[in-house]
Chains A and B, each alone.
Chain A
C-alpha cells in the first residue's frame, strides 16, 4: 500500500500525487495539516519533518523524488 503524507499548500505534494495518478497507482493521502495522528506517525517513523513524504511498503521517501519512488514501486511489484 502506498501512503502519501502531504499538505494542501505544498506544490511538490501536488506533483507527487499527479505522478501517482498518471501511473494509475492507488494511494491513500493523509493531509498532515489536519490529521494530527498521521502527522505524528510520519515524523516518528521517517524521522523527517518535511512534506511530501511517501511510504511504499516500509520505505520512506522524502520530497518528490521520482527515481526513488519508481525504484521502491519496482521492488514491491516483484
Chain B
C-alpha cells in the first residue's frame, strides 16, 4: 500500500504533523519508538502556551490523546532503520516491516550521545545508563563513574555523591564547563574524585559492570564502578537516507528551510532533529505543523 505520508517520531513535532495530516485527509502512517519523545522526559514545563504548569509525562499523555483522537494509523515500539528514495516515492525500512509513501517527515528528535567505547552497548542497563534522574537511586552504596563535564554531568555527580560509595568523574576537558556553583558542590564532596583530560577506554564486567579503564594524562588506570552515568550531551537522532543527498549542517542536524523542506524533494524534517535553531517543545510543535502543510502542498502540486 502506498501512503501519502509517513511520519517518523511522535514527539511534539511528529504528533502535531500527524494531527494536521489527519485534518488534510492524507493517508498517513506514524512510526515511532515511543509517544512523547524528549518532551515526556521533561519535568516541569512552564512555557507551553495554555498550560501555566504541566509535567512532561502529563503533556505527553495529552499529546497521545490528541493523536489517538485522529484518524491516523500509528505504530509504537518501532525503530526505523533507513529511508530509501525510489523514483518519486520513499521506502521506509523499520523493525515493523517496509512501508512506502509519497512523502516522509523526519521528526526523530535528539538522543543522548554515546561514548562509542567497548562495553557501552553490552552493559546498557547492566550498569551503563543515560538517565541519572531515573537510575541513580539503584546505585546506593556502590562505586560509580560519571562521564562528562557540563551541567548534566555535574548534576548527576551531585545526586550520586549523596548515595553512592564513591563517585569518579571522567572529563575529557581540563576544566568543567558547567555552572561554578555546581562545580563547587562537586569538588567539595570527599566522595568525589575528578579525572580531568581523561577518557574512558573500556567498560568491563561480567553480568554487570565492575570497573572501567580510564586513560589519564598519567597513563591508564582501572577505576572500580558498578554504575556508569554517561552525560555528554545529546545529538540529532538521524535516520540514514539512501539514494539521495540529505544535507546536514555542522551540528549534524538535518538542514531545513522555512518550509521545513530538506535538500531531498518530498522529504521534510521538523523539531530537534532539524536545523531549526530554537529547541523548545512549542517550536517543535509549530515546525511539525509547517512540515505537514508543506507536505500537503507538495502532494497537491504534483501528479503521482
Asked if A9 and B129 sit within 8 Å, CB to CB, the answer is no
Q: Which parts of B163-183 form the interface with A (CB within 8 Å)? A: none
Q: Mark A22-54, 1 if CB is under 8 A from B, else 0.
A: 000000000011101001000100011111000
Chain B: interface size category? 20 to 34
Stretch from B15-23, B83-91, B99-107, B131-139 forming part of the interface with A: B131-139
Which residues of chain A (55-75) have a CB below 8 Å from chain B? Answer: 62, 64-68
Among B56-64, B113-121, B277-285, B292-300, the stretch that binds chain A is: B56-64
Listed stretches B33-41, B190-198, B215-223, B257-265; interface member? B33-41
Are B133 and A9 within 8 A (Cβ)?
yes
List B contacts of A12 (CB < 8 A): 40-41, 134
B77 with A67: CB separation less than 8 A: yes
**Hey, which chain B residues are within 8 Å of A15, CB to CB?**
36, 40, 57, 60-61
In angstroms, Cα B137 to Cα A32, docked, is 7
Are A11 and B138 CB-contacts (below 8 A) given A49-B125, A65-B77? no
A49 to B137, CA, bound (A): 10
Q: Once bound together, how far apart are the Cα atoms of A48 and B138, in whole Å?
A: 11
User: CB-CB < 8 A to B149: which residues of A?
Assistant: none
* A66 x B77 contact (CB < 8 A): yes
- State the CA gap A32–B124 with chains docked (Å): 19
- B135 close to A51 (CB less than 8 A): yes
Total A-B pairs, Cβ < 8 A:
79
Task: Give Cα A33 to B133, complex, Å.
Answer: 11
Chain B residues with CB under 8 Å of A11's CB are: 40-43, 55-57, 133-134
Answer whether residue A4 sits at the interface, using C-beta atoms and an 8 A cutoff: no
- Interface size, chain A (Cβ < 8 Å): 26
Contact in complex: A7, B134 (CB < 8 Å): yes
| Contact A68 B138, beta carbon cutoff 8 Å | no
The residue in B34, B36, B57, B207 that gathers the most chain A C-beta atoms within 10 A of its C-beta is B57
A residues less than 8 Å from B207 (CB atoms): 47
B42 contacts across to A, CB distance below 8 A: 11
Asked whether A14 is an interface residue with its Cβ less than 8 Å from the other chain, the reply is: yes
* B27 touches A (CB below 8 Å): no
New contact pairs (14) apart from A50-B124, A51-B134, CB-CB < 8 Å:
A9-B137, A11-B43, A11-B55, A11-B134, A15-B40, A15-B60, A43-B208, A47-B207, A48-B125, A49-B127, A50-B135, A50-B138, A64-B34, A65-B77
Q: Which residues of A contact B (CB under 8 A)?
A: 7, 9-15, 18, 32-34, 36, 39, 43, 47-51, 62, 64-68
18 contacts between A and B (CB under 8 A): A7-B134, A7-B135, A7-B138, A11-B56, A11-B134, A12-B134, A14-B55, A18-B57, A18-B61, A49-B129, A49-B139, A49-B208, A49-B227, A50-B135, A51-B135, A64-B34, A67-B77, A68-B77
